[in-house]
Amino acid sequence: MSEIELSPENNLRWHFPTPIFAHIWQDCEAVNRELRALILETEAKGNPKFGHIEGGWASTKDFFSWDADCVRTLEAHIQHMLSAMVSWIGQKPLDRVVSYDLQCWANVLRNGGYHALHSHPNSFWSGAYYVGIGSRTNDTRRNGCIEFMDPRSAAGAILMQGSALPQECLVSPEPGLTVIFPGWLKHMVHPFYGEGERISIAFNLDRES
């Protein structure tokens, strides 16, 4: 009997993938300066925090209605990213028109602040854009990172050294980074230890109610 030839290219198929989109906006320094000033000015007015944030502040979910040129610029950028993501993932055109709502809000974390584990119910896609990351004073690799949890609950049931099955998905933020992911995917932000502010702008693509 001849030896059977096996190869990943011919014999291995991956199923149940979870898409996560990441893109860094080049030359975003000017718009980020304006966004940072606007967000911190709004925070100073005392709007309450909400949701899963601890040790920080979040705006209401109407960020794209704020009257500022930098907001319009960011909105156009995020719309472009979402359009690309939806086009790549779509298998065939819809036979009807579907309307969507785009909710968006600002988050500010300071030393010790974090986001507890959560998902975004009723959202097709969710994401975050990073305005600033502060100055990290603790070199632990999870400092201020967003982590996505493997949705396959049994993937880590049997652990083997070097196995590709249980996967850690840790994303270190940087100014200008946009990350887009399915709204059902559980995620968290590890505590930020440092000086200044870690500022992100979160968004949800929801079916229009």
Residue 187 belongs to domain with CATH number = 2.60.120.620
In a domain, 93, yes or no: no
**Which tens digit of pLDDT belongs to each residue from 164-193?**
666 789 999 999 999 999 999 999 999 999
Q: Note whether 61 and 110 are within 8 A (CB).
A: no
76 in a structural domain: yes
Q: Tell me what the mean pLDDT of segment 41-68 comes to.
A: 88
Q: How many domains does the chain have?
A: 1
Region 45-69: what's the mean pLDDT? 88
Task: Check whether 93 has a pLDDT greater than 70.
Answer: no
Higher pLDDT: 70 or 96? It is: 70
What are 147's two structure tokens? 């982590």
- The lowest-confidence range among 10-24, 50-64, 85-99 is 85-99
* pLDDT for residue 85: 84
Residue 134 lies in a domain: yes
In this prediction, residue 48 carries a pLDDT of: 66
pTM of the model: 0.89
Residue 6 within a domain: no
Q: Please check whether residue 196 lies inside any domain of the structure.
A: yes
For residue 116, the enclosing domain spans: 20-88+101-150+166-206
**What is the rounded distance in angstroms from the CA atom of residue 43 to the CA atom of residue 50?**
13
Tokens of 130: 């990073």
Residue 94, domain member (yes or no): no
Tens of pLDDT along 99-144?
A: 578 999 999 999 999 999 999 998 999 999 999 999 998 778 899 9
Instruction: State whether residue 192 is helix, strand or coil.
Output: coil
Whether 107 maps to a domain, the answer reads: yes
Would you call 113 helix, strand, or coil by DSSP?
strand
The rounded distance, in Å, linking the Cα atoms of 60 and 121 is: 17
pLDDT band at 157 (very low <50, low <70, confident <90, very high): confident
Tell me the DSSP string of 136-164.
E----TTTT-EEEPPS-TTTTSS--TT-S
* Nearest to 118, CA basis, from 86, 140, 141, 147: 147
More confident residue, 152 or 107: 107
Q: Is residue 81 part of a domain?
A: yes
Higher pLDDT, 200 or 137: 200
SS3 92: coil
Record the tokens describing residue 57, joined without a space. 């502040």
